[in-house]
Chain A
Amino acid sequence: MRHYLDFEKGLAELEGKAAELRALAARNPAMDVRDEAAQLDAKSRKMLGELYATLDPWAKCQIARHPDRPRALDMIEALFDEFTPLAGDRAFAEDAAVVGGLARFQDRPVVVLGHEKGRDTRSRLTRNFGMARPEGYRKAVRLMRLADKFGLAVITLIDTPGAYPGKGAEERGQAEAIARATEACLALGQPLVSVVIGEGGSGGAVAFATANRVAMLEHAVYSVISPEGCASILWKDADKMREAAAALRLTAQDLMKLGVIDRIVPEPLGGAQRAPLEAIAETGRAVAAMLADLDGKDAAALRADRRRKYLEMGRKTLG
């Protein structure tokens, strides 16, 4: 069963009709529906193209949160070999919202880290919908230090609504944990590349994405605050999220113009959720290209490169 977004209603009808027709034909072998179904297919394909050519920022937010989009673990499974998860912050707990460990990317041993939102109700609860607690950031710091010690590049996959606004998370100092993770990103003497694969939610994202190179999937979003949160504060009306989404300039396309990201990973027609394997393969190509970009740079050069990138940020504005 395909999960349709609000703005895909017309498409859902067309595709539903085609499916119904085919089901009917399957039950009545005498019926020939091929032409009619093919016509419907062509129509829905055209509609899909039109819809995805004119997405507004709020529609992108919905796509970025789509339950069928490839998750960090899908990406890791498909793009990495010998993935060996490493757990725990050595202080309090393991945080299942953050996956990470050793793995091979195109034979090269690396540390991979990502937010994992989960795929079904149960795993979503276990993964806390990809919202890290302090332990997740502290685990990330530990793994980044491990990478530094053994000369491994770090690849991070960003997909989080943001930090977890919970009592325990605050008690255990999530602000400090985020600050230390950002600091660890900047201090890393190995290549660090990030891909925002879905939602890049505020401090929770920045803590892993302060990288040498940052890519975003074509329909991913990256923002200081959710459009709903922004709308309720600035518009005093959470229903103004469409306006807020547009004002925040959170799309990959705008962030590229602003110089915040370095690369956009193209998604298949209809978004990564329609053809996850294609999107994953494109992501792999982007990661490889970003790593190649950093080849031959020593620790000092990598740190200087990262620092320069963030210091220069803000020079490009949207005219």
Chain B
Amino acid sequence: MSDSGYGMNWLTDYVRPKLNSLFSRRDMPENLWRKCDNCGQMIFHRELSEALHVCSNCNHHMQISPRERFNALFDGGAWIETPLADAPADPLKFRDQKRYPDRIREARANTGEHEAMLVARGEISGLTTVAACQNFAFLAGSMGMAVGDALLAAADAAVAAKAPLVVFCAAGGARMQEGILSLMQMPRTTIAAQTVAEAGLPFVTVLTNPTTGGVTASYAMLGDVQIAEPGALICFAGPRVIEQTIGEKLPEGFQRSEYLHEHGMLDRVTHRHAMRDELAVILRMLMRAPRRITGDLPAPEAQAADAARAG
């Protein structure tokens, strides 16, 4: 579960999506550079965001916010956010070095989001699709009641729209501050996957860096088709915990997308820039829809997405 070793420190060197909501592209500070966590290359923020947070130098796939993901996924960058009900706040009255409600407050302030999963409906190559996306910037995307509820809502939305469900996974594991209730999201999210399956609709999971712990051991591994982004860490037990247990160094690339693909755990490893087209092709076939119209719809415009969000 959350023993994957992912601490909250992953958040500190991540350019917070709050910036995206605070500044429109026009008044984005021109001197905002971002260092690639893999190769160290300095990349201009705007360039990086246009490249969907893929390093132009080494192809490293960095974290991307759910809103940016949806903008890139849906035709014309237009999508409708599925409203989500509030999950019980702090059910255990959990306190470690900080109070859990304070951690939540901070995460909300830093991301401008209410919780760690967003759900949206839009069209991919003309096919109505529901997508859920985990937000690693929000408490490491960790799965608590809110994430479980969000996925259940996404499943219901997919069934209601007779549409496929695509889930973008990214999580350091369980939301430890919700204790046993975070563990109970494993069966709850499995029910979400079953709900979609029973309606005869496709359930496709996209595993991004990192997908770990209880998230991997539930919906992430229950896809009709499972696709990973390149180089993503995908595991149940994290590499640090394994190294401590077996007392040896793990080989290069262990528990990365390509390794899991080789070991039969994933259908495909797909570059983020190719993901939308690939999903379109797969979903249309699974839905027995005619071949998509060639010649792409215009690249998602931030303005269009903003307009869709405002509307």
Contacts and interface: CB of A to CB of B under 8 A. Distances in A.
B290 interface: no
Assign chain B's interface to a size class.
Answer: 35 or more
A27 interface: no
A142 B188 CA distance: 22
Which of B148, B174, B180, B183 has the most C-beta atoms of chain A within 10 angstroms of its own C-beta? B180
Nearest to A260: B180
A250 interface: yes
A206 B148 CA distance: 15
B180 A224 contact: yes
Contacts of B179: 223-224, 247-250
Interface string A155-178: 000000011111101111111101
Closest 3 CB pairs of A and B: A165-B237, A317-B91, A175-B216
A224 B183 contact: yes
Contact of A175 (B94, B178, B217, B242): B217
Interface of B: 1-3, 5, 7, 87-88, 90-97, 145, 148, 152, 174, 176-184, 186-188, 190-191, 193-194, 213-214, 216-222, 234-237, 241-242, 244-246, 250, 254-255, 260, 263-265
A6 B219 CA distance: 40
Assign chain A's interface to a size class.
Answer: 35 or more
B154 to A, nearest CB: 14
Contacts of A182: 186-187, 190, 217-218
Nearest to A234: B96
Given A175-B221, A186-B194, A258 B181 contact: yes
Contacts, number: 188
Contacts of A224: 1-2, 174, 176, 178-180, 182-183, 214
Contacts of B97: 234-236
Which of A186, A206, A311, A313 has the most C-beta atoms of chain B within 10 angstroms of its own C-beta? A206
Given A166-B245, A173-B263, A187-B194, A247 B92 contact: yes
A202 interface: yes
Identify whether the interface residues of A are mostly helix, strand, loop, or mixed: helix
A229 B3 contact: yes
A307 interface: yes
A309 to B, nearest CB: 9
A172 B265 CA distance: 8
A18 to B, nearest CB: 40
Contact of A174 (B218, B236, B264): B236
Contacts of A235: 96-97
B87 A314 contact: yes
B187 A186 contact: yes
B221 A313 contact: no
Contacts of A165: 3, 237, 241-242, 244-245
B217 A317 contact: no
A206 B187 CA distance: 8
Contacts of A247: 92, 94-96, 179
B184 A310 contact: yes
Interface string A137-169: 000000000000000000000000011111101
